[in-house]
Chain A
Amino acid sequence: MKREIDIEQLLRWRMERAEAGAPLAPRAAHLLDIARPWWETWPERFESYTRRLGALQISYGYAMSELHHGHTGYPVPTLIARDDDEFEAPARVLYMSVRDGRLRLRFQIDPIPAPDRSFEVTFVTEAGLRPILSTFAELSVDGEYRLDVELPEELAATWESLRVTDQMPFRFILRPAPITA
């Protein structure tokens, strides 16, 4: 026997089937574990990075003032932290926009560290060097790192008025992103 059926009913039927056959829910402990940011998992490592990041203003003061004369905005003090190596390299913010609660940002590191096609970018407050955000940035064909991330409400409201020519209220810790398929 046929009864009239439309696409909506068909999709809902499929959803019911999927619901009935859903795998077990992940355990809360597992979710809590993998949701924890790296600076909570390795606080000593974070502290070591921020110590070095905090000192950047002194060692990079001149270079940064030089960079500031370029057409881009203030350089952002940046620490690139690999497993076996750490080095400093100011990042030039080329574009920054906060709209609809999302941050879109493009930056350049000079020289570009060749092996790192993507970084996990940790935003650290300029004042107090506290971690505030972590996301991933991909290297584009133009040699720029690009990121696009949803911001917490408070941060979005605060950063919405920031322009690329403003001094950024953050510093970066860049960690090479794990390679994914």
Chain B
Amino acid sequence: MHPALSVILLTTLLGVGQGLFLALYTGQLYSVARLLEHQDSQTFYAVGSALALAFLAAGLIASFFHLGHPERAWRSIACWRTSWLSREVIVLPLVMLLVFLYGLFHYLEWTTPLFTVAGTLPVDATLIIGALATLATFALFICTAMIYASIRFLQEWHSALTVINFTLLGGASGFMLAAAFSAFIGVHLVGFYATWAVILTLAALLTRGASLLRNHRLRPRSTLQSAIGVRHTTIRQIAQGAMGGSFNTREFFHHQPGRVIRMARAGFLVLVFPLPILLLGAAWGLSSEVLPLLAFLTQYLGLLIERWYFFVEARHPQNLYYQSIA
């Protein structure tokens, strides 16, 4: 597939935003459970939410660049029954709304407990909104990933691993950002978030690795034989009926040499996984405030490449019809 920048940005930015929100809410849950110290609603949660919202909004904006007619984007909520894209379009604003409310409540410090569960856990509005937002965030991960995973012709994508990877990688990058954010504003959650970031990154390494392996082993379901319905071991295309290119050669081909693709794979495997972890380790060792940010940026850069590779790796069966010109 052709890796469109808008889609790469869209999926990675949303991932960061969603991950960051999850990190904030995880932090809040820990502190409600008194496993972590309490953070300031305004400076930490509200600002953090704003940051998450910014990423989500950036993702949303990026998505518009993918549309031929962004002014009609509203129409895309119509088919939520069947279309994961439609569902994403519905869930994304919902996530943004909930994250916004979550941030707003924190900002307005409407955090008076509404009731107490089991006598020990005070539940305030933010906790409820956060819970809803968490659900929505996971739903969004699923929707976004299912856009890709649901296309069964794209065998590289058509797998639960796609959903898991999107979720874990989004989570990892969000927690990574949370660590950087914590370091930046000087709260003591760097270690907490860094630990989770490392755990998520390692988990993602496993699942992303698994998908690489899976894709490596995939045998395309469709062949030239099934594409044109001729049974013979040797079939070659000579002409595709258009010599100056067509939508089919632009949208479904990456036109990248193998060398570049291999470099990209190595690149993202280094940038997404070991390097940020090392940087976090170094940050911990050096108690640096900038290294966590660097770790996040490194990982995000890696994710851009990862997403690029995600597209490049996917071989669309239509490509069988577009092999040669003459």
Q: Do A and B come from one complex?
A: no
Question: Which residues of A come within 8 Å of B, CB atoms?
Answer: none
